[in-house]
Amino acid sequence: MLRIRAGSVHPVTAPPILDGAVLVDDAGKIAAVGPHPRVPTPPGARTLEFPDAALVPGLVNCHTHLELTHLAGRNREPGFATWIRRIRELKDATPPEEFRRSAEQGVRDCWTRGVTCVADTGSTGAVVEALARLGGRGIAYHEVFGPDPARCAASIAELEQALGWLSRFASSHLRLGVSPHAPYTVSEPLYRAVADFARREGLPVAVHLAESREEVQLVREGSGPFAEALRARGIAVEPRGLSPVEYLLQLGVLASGVCLCIHCVQVDAPDVRILREAGVAAAHCPRSNRAHGHGVTPVAALRAAGVRVGLGTDSVVSVEDLDLWAEAEAAGWQGEEALRMLTLEGARALCWDREIGSLEAGKQADLAVFPSTTLYRPLPPSAALLTVVAGRVVHEARAEIPGER
């Protein structure tokens, strides 16, 4: 068992508790939350004390590409279409072992920042293996690519083979999903086939959607740099006369079960209504959107419409680190509002809020301890003092722990 006392405890679903404590049982669940004197200390329990820190639910990162951790700072190509092409070149030049090292480092970097759950998209399976091996929590969406309609059957066969192999790693802490990447890398037949596959297998879906103006040009007008790149490969491109959101609705992707729509920058009021009616969630990545010059996601409109919204960092090729507090600051949130977005709202976006996202008896003990000022004043990237996943300590800054028994 584990008992953690802190200067303040922030359940999220209840007011903060000064000089509070959380007791974790030996099954990795929260047994008690409350003021320090009211939380028991069972014989033999490990006890940790952080008198000048804040104990919060573990943070939820709703969009990562952890297999790309080794590419941090290596792509400075101007123009989004060119940047995407360069990413593919760098991935093609990366050996499998490097992806495995990169994924493990990415998971550990998340833990260092108090992140206990990730929604990761990747094409190598390295993150699935890393999360399973290290005992992490997350949803791993296996990416599917194939802009050439003639390659649809081959892409689906590759997806089925990959998920057949990765399914051995799935557990209550690690869920598998599928991610037909984006309108500029996935053909219409492949979108339909992946949506059908996801429905048949009961898998969650994640899509990069309405991220850039170039994507809108491609889908609506059949023009722009993505269209030019596809035509250069001999792939026909036709204007759809639709927004990317309308396009994926037409193809059945948004109705394929639990769907996470990543970015959602280039959306208007009709798009927001579609997202609400489809019951999807949005992963908001403000720093990545800003770095690529995509614009600003209309988060207020999405939330007002009832669309579930969580925060994500995207990859470290787009942003310099995996600091979710910096994402909250970039989105304009601070204090308890920022904390709620980084925890319970992120868990809701991933349909995991019954188990994680708040400090309540019976929930999974996914916890983090931060310097208390982090919650009330935006700071430079700061590490967590302690991170716990399902009751197991996965990160601790030993020099910062003032008392332990």
**pLDDT tops 60 at residue 9:** yes
Q: Specify the pLDDT at position 373.
A: 78
Quickly count helices (H) and strands (E) in the chain: 14, 16
Q: Specify the pLDDT at position 398.
A: 66
| Average pLDDT value for residue range 305-333 | 95
Q: What is the pLDDT of residues 158-168, one digit of tens each?
A: 999 999 999 99
The chain-wide mean pLDDT, for the chain, equals: 94
**pLDDT tops 60 at residue 405:** no
Helices 324-331 + 335-342 axis angle, to 10: 120
CATH class of the 59-349 domain in this structure: alpha beta
Query: 155-174: buried (b, 16+ CB within 10 Å) or exposed (e) per residue?
Result: bbebbeebbeebeebeeebb
Q: Are strands 386-389 and 392-396 parallel, antiparallel or unpaired?
A: antiparallel
**pLDDT tops 70 at residue 383:** yes
Catalytic residue among 67, 129, 211, 345: 211
Alpha-carbon distance of 203 to 212, in angstroms, equals 26
Q: What is the CA radius of gyration of the chain?
A: 21
Alpha-carbon distance of 405 to 392, in angstroms, equals 16
φ/ψ (deg, to 5) at 316:
-75, 0
Instruction: Provide the token pair at 385.
Output: 């003092």
| Average pLDDT value for residue range 249-263 | 89
Instruction: Provide the token pair at 356.
Output: 């994680």
CA nearest neighbour of 84 among 35, 143, 30, 28: 143
Q: What is the pLDDT of residues 11-32, one digit of tens each?
A: 999 999 999 999 999 999 999 9
Q: Which of 88-92, 206-210, 371-375 has the lowest mean pLDDT?
A: 371-375
Do residues 357 and 13 lie in contact, with contact meaning Cβ atoms separated by under 8 Å?
no
- Integer CA distances (angstroms), 232 to 7, 173, 204, 222, 236, in order: 61, 43, 33, 14, 9
**pLDDT tops 70 at residue 50:** yes
Alpha-carbon distance of 165 to 170, in angstroms, equals 10
Do residues 404 and 3 lie in contact, with contact meaning Cβ atoms separated by under 8 Å?
no
pTM of the entire predicted model: 0.96
Q: Specify the pLDDT at position 74.
A: 77
Q: Specify the pLDDT at position 372.
A: 86
**pLDDT tops 50 at residue 56:** yes
| Average pLDDT value for residue range 141-164 | 97
| Bridge partners of residue 139, in order along the sequence | 119, 175
CB-based contacts of 194, cutoff 8 Å, min separation 6: 144, 156, 159, 178, 180, 186, 205, 253, 256
Q: What is the pLDDT of residues 223-237, one digit of tens each?
A: 999 999 999 999 999
**pLDDT tops 50 at residue 400:** no
Is 396 a known active-site residue? no
Q: Specify the pLDDT at position 381.
A: 54
Do residues 243 and 211 lie in contact, with contact meaning Cβ atoms separated by under 8 Å?
no
Looking at per-residue confidence, does 246 or 255 come out higher?
246
Do residues 310 and 325 lie in contact, with contact meaning Cβ atoms separated by under 8 Å?
no
Q: Specify the pLDDT at position 375.
A: 77
CA distance between the termini of the chain: 12
Q: What is the pLDDT of residues 182-191, one digit of tens each?
A: 999 999 999 9
Instruction: Provide the token pair at 250.
Output: 């037409």
Which range has the top average pLDDT, 77-91, 247-261, 267-281? 267-281
Do residues 296 and 254 lie in contact, with contact meaning Cβ atoms separated by under 8 Å?
no
Three-state secondary structure call for residue 269: helix
CATH 3.20.20.140 domain extents, the chain: 59-349
Q: Which of 37-41, 85-89, 339-343 has the lowest mean pLDDT?
A: 85-89
3.90.1200.10, 3.30.530.20, 2.30.40.10, 2.60.60.20: CATH of 2-57+358-404? 2.30.40.10
CATH 2.30.40.10 domain extents, the chain: 2-57+358-404
Q: What is the pLDDT of residues 345-378, one digit of tens each?
A: 999 999 999 999 999 999 999 999 999 877 776 5
Alpha-carbon distance of 267 to 335, in angstroms, equals 28
Q: Specify the pLDDT at position 391.
A: 98
